[in-house]
Structures are given as structure tokens and as C-alpha cells.
Amino acid sequence: MSKKLPWLAAGVLGIFVVVGLKIGTIWQRPTIETSSPSYSIATVQRGDLTLTASGTGSLIAGQSADLSFPVSGTVGELKVRVGEQVSAGQVLAVLAEADELRVNVQEKQLALQEAQQALSELLNGADKRLAQALADRAVAQSAYEEAKKNLRQKGVPRCSQDQIVSYYYKYVNAQNNVNIWEDYLESGKTGYGTDYILKTLAPMRKERDLAYANLTYCQGYTEQEILESEANLKLAEANLSQVEKTYQDLLAHAGIDPDEVSIAEAEVKNAEAQLKKAQAELEGASLVAPMDGTVIAINADEGEAVTGRNADESEGEVVFLTLADLEHPLVRVYIDETDLQSFAGGCSAEVTFDAIPGRGFEGIVTQVSPVLVAMGNVNVLEGLVKLENAVLTPQKTLVLGLSGTVDISCKKASNVLLVPVAAVHEDDCSVYVYVLNQSGEKEKREIEVGARSSTFVEVRSGLQEGERVIIQ
């Protein structure tokens, strides 16, 4: 059997019934008559069946909001103080970095404009770009033809055959002259002096070397020239292929390069994202009230650093300011679990706070938790009561945290037949009462019952108003 709350009187926790008017009263206790020494009777009457229970409660905010700056910074201006009432949309505080963030927004706007302009020029310059691609293709084609014409191959003479023969005979004649004078130099018996012979031999050797160089040049290309010509041809061929591809792609897409457009569009999207982020940071530099309410806590003053809620999500949100709706508060109620049937949504409630004796506040039960709550060594029901008038005076609201007593009243049935609990009997087969008939004799009568309290039971069938049932 569940333990009772130590702080609730046993007589208050029990469910009791008020039939008829609650104060004044519309239900007169059943007339108990003594028709004989062995019977006590009660008259079946029509009335309302109401279940009640009592518990404790404390005042909480009906709605609250823990506010934080989305970005880190320093509190530059605090526009409210604790206890001040504010309206939804009102600026509560501003970071000192607001001007810097505003400049950042302007820079991001300019970057977006530049990206949009580049994309626009790319889309609108199709004809010009196609013409340029055609001109580039012509230049590349000309370069390729020139490189192909200048391709050098081993064994192919550089000059005409007549030119080669002419250089050959010049070389042979020059070599013969050199040979004659070199013989003079070696013999030393010509009558010419050595100095004279060397002076005469020098221009002859120069003429021979030049003739040999011209002959060699005309006979073919060097290995280096051949390699360079082959490399130039490959480079010109590759350039022509690339330029041709670019031209054909532009031609197929009406002068627009899809790759360039994709890159430009990506740059626009990136600029838009950067601007959106900067605007969000600027907006976050001003803390705005999301609802009407009262400031109940401020955790930093002007000049103090605050950590944005996005700075380090692993550490949780850092609350800077808390708002609460004090004009529409709730009472968190705790009722003993044995009073479960007397505690439901829609039931009326009267709250009396310890700090405000002699005055009750009416309300309605708006929520009952489906899970029992452990309080000390007992289990209790937890719920919420919405107060209908939570104003202490025209200029003052109730203070959060007030504690007091909560009386719950739940009407279970209206204008129904009622009999005392003591008159009802049950066995495995039926529910019945004993009726005192007109002859003054008891008569067993099976009945159908509905809602019940600890005092009265609703009778749905089997009895009529005015009949007398035996209690004892």
C-alpha cells in the first residue's frame, strides 16, 4: 500500500464528494431514518458527484526563454535590467563588435556583386568569346603549318645541289692552297722566311675553314636542330588540338563554356553563403526578445566577454539573459498517488500561497504527468495548473517560486442518482443494494454503478429517485 505524503493531512488527501452546490449546498445529506431498530436508511437522490484532492505547489513561469548571443564577443551595450518588462522584438543587448561585423557584411556584399558581374559577363559575352576562339584557332593552325614546314630530318640537305657543289670546290681549292704553303713551312728551303709563310698561310686557312663550314651547313641539319624541330611540331600540334576543342565546345554551346559557367556559378553561391553567414553574425550581435516577458536574470555586464552558443557546442549553450512570462504563470502541483482519480486535465483548482494568506487564486489543471515522481520516500503525481488571474495588484505580478496549497475539484457526474457507499454491496456476480419497500421489508436489488467517491456512488440503473436503501 502506497505511503501518504507526510506534508498532507490524511483527511485532506482522501477523496471526498460534494454533491450539489459546493458552498451553501445543493446536496443535503441523505435522510437517515430508523424504521425499525435493525435498519438505517438513506433516500436515493439526484445530484452532482465531485471528487476533490489537495496537494502542494509552487509558482513557475508559464513560458520562459534562455537567450544567448550566437557569436562570441564583448557586451557593448546592455539595454535592460533585471525585473524590467520587455516586448517581443525589443533589443536587449548589443555586442561591441557590431560595427566590425557590419563592415564585414558590406565586404561580403561587394564580393557577391563581383561574382554576379563575372557570371553575367560570361553569359553575355558569348559572341565575342566565339569570335576570339575562332581567331585563336587560325593562329594555332598557322603555327602548326609553320612548324611542320620547318621540321628537320637527318640526311636532308639544307641547300640546293648547285650550292653544295660550289661550296665543295671552294673548300677543295682553299685546302690545296693551304697544303702548298704548309709544305713550304715544313721544308724551310723555299727562300721565304718563316714569318712570311705564316703571314701568307693565315688568310688561306681562314678561307678554307669558312668554305668547310658552308659546305657542312648546306649538306644537312645538326642533331640538335632536328630534335628542336620535332619538339616544336609536337607543341604546335597539341596547341592546335586544344584550341580546336575549345572552339568546338563553344560552338556547340552558343559561345558559352559550361565549365567556366559552373565555376562562376559556384563562386556566386559561395559568395551568397558568405554574405548570409556575415548577416547572421551581424544580426546575432543584437540580442532580441522573442516574446513579451520580464527579465529575471542577466549573467554578464557591459564590457564583459560572452561566449556565443556556436563557439563550442560540446560545452552546451551559454545563457546570457533569461526572460519569463510572469503575467501567465503556472503552478507545478504534487498530489498523492492515491488521489489519482481526482486529478485530471480540466479539473478546477484553487491555490493558496503561504506568503499571501486569506486569498485564493483560481485555475485549471492543464497537464498531468503520466509518470509518478519520487519525492522523499513516497511517489506523487505531478501536474500543472494554469491560473486565471495571476496579478497580485494592478501593478505587480506574483513572484516565481511562491509555494502553497492546491485544492483540486473534479466533477465526475452531473444530475445523476446517488446513494451512499455504505449501501452498496458487491460479490463475484453482481453489485446490489437492499431497498426498504413500501411494506417496510428489505428487498435485494441489483444495480449498475458508475463513478464513485469514498462517500457516494453513481447509480445508472436499478433504482429510482426517492427510493430508500438500507445503509446499516
CA dihedral 378, 360, 62, 345 (to 10 degrees): 60
Q: What is the C-alpha separation between 457 and 268, in angstroms, rounded?
A: 76
C-alpha cell at 284: 546575432
Q: What is the C-alpha separation between 279 and 281, in angstroms, rounded?
A: 5
How high is the pLDDT of residue 310? 62
The distance in angstroms from the start CA to the end CA of the chain is 28
Tell me the pLDDT tens digit for each residue of 130-178: 888 889 999 999 999 999 998 988 888 989 899 999 999 999 999 999 9
How high is the pLDDT of residue 413? 79
How high is the pLDDT of residue 315? 52
Q: Considering the entire predicted model, what is its pTM?
A: 0.52
On average, the pLDDT of the chain sits at 85
The H or E element that residue 210 is part of is: helix 194-219
**Amino acid of residue 389:** N
Under DSSP, the state recorded for 28 is P
Do 197 and 248 meet the contact criterion of CB atoms below 8 Å apart?
no
Q: Enumerate the β-bridge partners of residue 53.
A: 408
C-alpha cell at 455: 462517500
Burial of 169 (0-12, 13-18, 19+ CB in 10 A): exposed
Q: What is the C-alpha separation between 239 and 148, in angstroms, rounded?
A: 13
Do 362 and 388 meet the contact criterion of CB atoms below 8 Å apart?
yes
Tell me the pLDDT tens digit for each residue of 81-91: 998 999 999 99
Q: Give yes or no for residue 220 having a pLDDT over 80.
A: yes
Q: What is the C-alpha separation between 47 and 49, in angstroms, rounded?
A: 7
Do 26 and 19 meet the contact criterion of CB atoms below 8 Å apart?
yes
- Mean pLDDT, rounded, for 33-43: 69
Q: What is the C-alpha separation between 296 and 80, in angstroms, rounded?
A: 11
Tell me the pLDDT tens digit for each residue of 415-428: 899 999 999 999 98
Q: Give yes or no for residue 246 having a pLDDT over 70.
A: yes
Tell me the pLDDT tens digit for each residue of 254-295: 777 778 888 989 999 999 999 999 999 899 899 999 999 999
